[in-house]
Amino acid sequence: MNRLLHRPDAWVFWTAIGTGLFAAAAILVAIGVAQKSSTASVWSQPLVDVGVVVCAAGIAVYALAFRAYFGGGSEKVPREPSPLERWIQRQLDAAATIGRDRHVQGDKWCFEKMGQWELALVNEMALNEEPTAPGLVDAYRRNPLTELIDAIPPPHGTKEYDDYYRRRLDWLEKKLRELQTGKVEPEPEVSAEHRKELQSIAEGVEPYIKIGRPARYHPPAENGSVPVMQSFRAHFPAVARMLDEWAELVTEMEAAQKALREWVQAEVESRSIDHFGPLPDLVRDAVEHGNLFAWSETSGFLWTGGSVIFVVDPGDDIEAMKKPVDDLLVDAAVSEPGGELVKVLIRVEDARRQILEQLERIRHMHVIRGRCELCAS
């Protein structure tokens, strides 16, 4: 009966039976009524009674049809694990077998076996001719502290080995649960104390970004440390990647600034501009900010950008003194080094805006999730 109720076409089956019962009931009642009115047969009343019973049965069967139509397929059929789920479970079972024999065979034996286990796992996952799950290998190999691929340093000592393989098994167990449930499990919430520490690191990173320097991971007015840096990077891997790219961009910017300054210096010498002060740096700074020189004459000196450029003697043609420097600025802006610097600066400003937005977001988070070495300590 239960199988019939949960077949996809069960409602058609029960509707047909119900209709047949209704038809039989109608015939029985009609015959009984006809006999009763014509010959007063002793069979007339029983036929009517049977017809009523059959009609009731038809109603009951229609109810089954209604249930089958609206509740069909509601019976839970055991879910068949996917090939990837079965594969991950086999890896976990193999690791568990090694772990059970550890107390007998010893730590050295266990870690050697686990090393062989992981090598075989990675090969099956992505390196064989017919890999099981090549799309997962990068996530498996990613260092949870730095988010870099294949950047997990080799463990030394029992604790490091235990921590390393525990992270590998945790990753496999989490992936298996996600595949089984279709839900990505949330990371654990860090303590309020650790959240404030991470937020203070974000605050300490901000000044370096604002002044165009590579980030240093430490709270304001404090020195950074490797564990603190790794902790921040573990909790905010996307921001960490942005800061890595930022460091490369700062190096590129500094190289472009140097190239333009050298170009300006060479032009100053070739044009025989006899000047005072850091004119190449002033030209480079004006190109960076898209400014013209703001000239001022005070006490026999011609100034721009807060620096003395020329000494002015009585009768000197001020505009003629300004012109070669103004021309140099225009030429620097349209030069190849000037154009390259402007392009880099556009990228720098865009990256700076995005990073500062992320750091501000971190500073105002009420909940930070994830796990790092400091969380476990």
Q: What is the DSSP secondary-structure string of 219-279?
A: -TTS---HHHHHHHHHH-HHHHHHHHHHHHHHHHHHHHHHHHHHHHHHHHHHTT----S-H
Q: Model pTM greater than 0.85? A: no
Q: Coil, strand or helix: which one is 1? A: coil
The Cα–Cα gap between 221 and 152 comes to 31
Asked if residue 1 has pLDDT above 60, the reply is no
What radius of gyration do the chain's Cα atoms show?
41
pLDDT computed for residue 110 by the predictor: 92
Band of residue 131 on the pLDDT scale cut at 50, 70, 90:
confident
Lowest mean per-residue pLDDT among 98-107, 161-170, 304-313: 304-313
CB count within 10 Å of CB 200 equals: 16
Which residue, 55, 48, 46, is CA-closest to 24? 55
State the CB neighbour count (10 A cutoff) for residue 77.
7
Among 193-197, 271-275, 336-340, name the one with the lowest average pLDDT.
271-275
pLDDT score for 345: 92
Distance CA 121, CA 140 (A): 10
3-class secondary structure, 320? helix
The burial of 180, by beta-carbon neighbours within 10 Å (0-12 exposed, 13-18 middle, 19 or more buried), is given as middle
